[in-house]
Amino acid sequence: MSRIDIRHPHALGRAQARKAVEQIARTLAERFDIQYDWQGDVLEFRRAGVDGRIALEDAALHVQAKLGFLTAMFKEPIEQEIRRVLREKF
């Protein structure tokens, strides 16, 4: 099993950062059939081959994901896309 672990700084207030994470989650749900829900300040997401979380911190987001066997073959492009979206939104 392959893992992704990214910590990305942000300068948004907590409410703004949460709203941006929610928008990202909605887009992922629509495009890739990802299920998600909030557990406090942590957005947990899952679908076949991917299980992860985005922890909302005061000055950073912490993205962690476990990739299944087939999904792990695409770790590099997945991680690059996550970093691109984080740079764009935060």
Q: Is the dihedral of CA 21, 61, 83, 73 positive or negative?
A: negative
- In this prediction, residue 31 carries a pLDDT of 86
Residue ranges of domains in the chain, CATH in brackets:
2-89 (3.30.310)
Report how far apart, in Å, the C-alpha atoms of 45 and of each of 11, 12, 35, 53, 64 are: 24, 22, 6, 6, 10
Question: How far is residue 27's CA from residue 61's CA, in Å, rounded to a whole number?
Answer: 18
- In this prediction, residue 32 carries a pLDDT of 85
Local confidence pLDDT in tens for the 90 residues of the chain: 799 999 999 999 999 999 999 999 999 889 888 999 999 999 999 999 999 999 999 999 999 999 999 999 999 999 999 999 999 989
Instruction: Please state, for a pLDDT cut of 90, what percent of the chain lies above it.
Output: 87
- In this prediction, residue 57 carries a pLDDT of 93
E strands present in 1-90: 2-9, 35-39, 42-47, 50-56, 60-67
Question: How far is residue 11's CA from residue 26's CA, in Å, rounded to a whole number?
Answer: 22
pLDDT for 24-50, tens place per residue?
999 988 988 899 999 999 999 999 999
Q: Please indicate, yes or no, whether the overall pTM of this predicted structure exceeds 0.75.
A: yes
